[in-house]
Amino acid sequence: MSYYENIIAQTLQIRRKIHQYPELGAAVHQTVGLVGNYLEQLGLDVHHNIGMNGLYADLTVDPRWERIGFRADMDALPIQEKVQHPWQSSRPGIAHLCGHDAHTAMLLGAAAILVDRKQDLRQNIRFIFQPDEENLPGGALPMIADGVLEGLRSILGMHVWPSLKTGTFGICKGPAMAQPDNFEITIKGIGGHAAYPEKCIDPILIAAQFIQNSQSLISRKISAFETAVLSFTKIQAGTTHNVIPEALHLIGTVRTLNSDTKAYLRRALEAQLEALCTLHHASCSFEYVDGHAVTLNNEKLAQNLTALLGKDKVIYPHPPSMAGEDFGYYSQMIPACFVFLGCTAENTEKAAMLHNPYFDLDENCLEVGVDFWIKAALGP
């Protein structure tokens, strides 16, 4: 077995080990230990405790040369896995159902190969391993505060993508992932017996009207050339069948690709809520939380990567995703590109998507991902 084949086999085993022992948010202690030990054994300059339990390692060929950053995320999700494998999650209610185990393993495999091929490099590399990329405030900003972007010319990120076949890539032009804002609403009326609704102010009725009316904001108030998503994800009210509750709690998310659309939807949601509550003589509260920044692909980087990978293997421009994460903060500060890696062997239409209990990537994508990092490091 060649050195390359041995590293690809290691990458597979590392992915399975991380998958078996998933960790949430910034509490990725076991994963960080594995990553740090591996990088130190490669002889790299490893920087520990960056931000909220992140780390990075520098491969320096010539200190006079520019440095590019490669970023992988490490955290899992609070979801019960329903796919059975010998390496399935050993921790109830926690699983790598977004592919971050693969991201970490692929970047480690690439680091090992690039150390071996150091003489072929014409730029220095920083391997970045970040926790907690989706929660607020997220892991990226603390790592930026601790200097992870210092000295970098640009940064690349990669995410497995079930809607693409293994061996193919998706690269967006401009926005790649949305700003994922959240909101929480409380509607307070007057509770009472369900047989006498005329003596009550029903928050459920108000919420139903609000949800219905709000959906027209996207179809009638946002240009067809803009992209936005409004989803209500939780309603909590009441205790039994014969009591109209006094109050109702409602949460949801707004996903947008530009600040003007986001600002309009925020104002419009609050205005509609207040108008409905005034009409029904109810009171309300509206809390809106800004999510992570939009992930922006630098056009030159996107075009260069497309040419490097081969236009026959890349969908460019790929449609942006309305999911979001904190790689966007990197992209707001230095030139960046976020690439989608195909991870489905056969029918992409039937593949379970990310964050699904049945998500299961094709492990052949691991070698494709390792090769992506090597090509990005070596350049044309």
Distance between CA atoms of 349 and 164, rounded to whole angstroms? 9
Find the domain containing 266 and state its range: 179-289
- Mean of pLDDT values over 24-37: 98
Same structural domain, 151 and 171: yes
Q: Is the pLDDT reported for residue 344 higher than 90?
A: yes
Question: Which of 267, 289, 311 is where one domain is finished?
Answer: 289
Tokens standing for residue 295: 């992930």
Do 284 and 312 have their domain in common? no
Shared domain check, 82 and 155: yes
Reading across the β-sheet that carries 179-188, which strands appear in turn? 228-237, 247-256, 179-188, 283-289
Q: Provide the pLDDT for residue 164.
A: 98
Q: How far is CA 348 from CA 84, 163, 369, in A?
A: 20, 5, 18
Residues 38 and 119 in one domain: yes
Residues 109, 71: Cα–Cα separation, whole Å: 13
Kindly state the tokens that stand for 208. Answer: 């139903």
The one-letter amino acid code at 179 reads: Q
pTM, to two decimals: 0.94
Residue 313's domain is classified under what CATH number?
Answer: 3.40.630.10
Q: Is the dihedral of CA 61, 64, 70, 71 positive or negative?
A: positive
Same domain, yes or no, for 159 and 113?
Answer: yes
Q: Do 84 and 208 sit in the same domain of this protein?
A: no
Helical H runs in the chain? Answer: 3-20, 29-41, 100-116, 140-145, 203-221, 259-279, 299-309, 327-333, 365-378
pLDDT score of 58 more than 90: yes
| Same domain for 332 and 278 | no
- CA 47 – CA 126 distance, rounded (Å): 10
The whole-angstrom separation of Cα 177 and Cα 183 is 19
> How does pLDDT run across 104-156, given as a tens digit for each residue?
999 999 999 999 999 999 999 999 999 999 899 999 999 999 999 999 999 99
> Do 284 and 333 belong to one domain?
no
Transcribe 303-364 into DSSP letters: HHHHHHH-GGGEESSPPPBS---THHHHHHHS-EEEEEEEEESS-TTTS--TT-TT----TT
* pLDDT above 90 for 70: yes
Judge if 39 and 135 occupy the same domain. yes
In this prediction, residue 154 carries a pLDDT of: 98
Q: What is the pLDDT of residue 207?
A: 98
Distance separating alpha carbons of residues 329 and 20, to the nearest angstrom: 30
pLDDT, one tens digit per residue, over 170-185 is 999 999 999 999 999 9
User: Are 190 and 258 found together in one domain?
Assistant: yes
Is the backbone of residue 140 left (phi > 0), alpha (psi -120 to 50) or beta?
Answer: alpha
Q: How many CB atoms lie within 10 A of CB 298?
A: 18
Measured distance CA(57)–CA(131) in Å, rounded: 15
Cα 316 from chain centre? 20
The model's confidence at residue 94, banded by pLDDT at 50, 70 and 90, is very high
Whether pLDDT at 21 is above 90: yes
Asked if residue 306 and residue 273 are part of one domain, the reply reads no
Give the number of other CB atoms < 10 A from CB of residue 141: 17
Phi, psi values for residue 69, rounded to 5°: -105, 140
DSSP 76: B
pLDDT reported for residue 1? 83
Helix (H, G, I), strand (E, B) or coil at 198: helix
Cα atoms in the 13 Å half-sphere on the side-chain side of 289: 13
Domain boundary among 238, 255, 289: 289
Summarize pLDDT for 279-297 with one digit per residue, the tens: 999 999 999 999 999 999 9
Domain count, the chain: 2
Question: Which residues, including other chains, have CB under 8 Å from residue 241's CB and lie 6 or more apart?
Answer: 194
Say whether 114 sits in a helix, a strand or coil: helix
Q: Specify whether 15 is located in the same domain as 135.
A: yes
Average pLDDT over residues 246-262: 97
Across the chain, mean pLDDT equals 97
* pLDDT-derived band at 246, boundaries 50, 70, 90: very high
Q: What CATH number did the domain enclosing 205 receive? A: 3.30.70.360
pLDDT at 380 over 90: no
Choose the final residue of a domain: 263, 289, 315: 289
Taking the C-alpha atoms of residue 18 and residue 105, their distance in angstroms, rounded to an integer, is 8
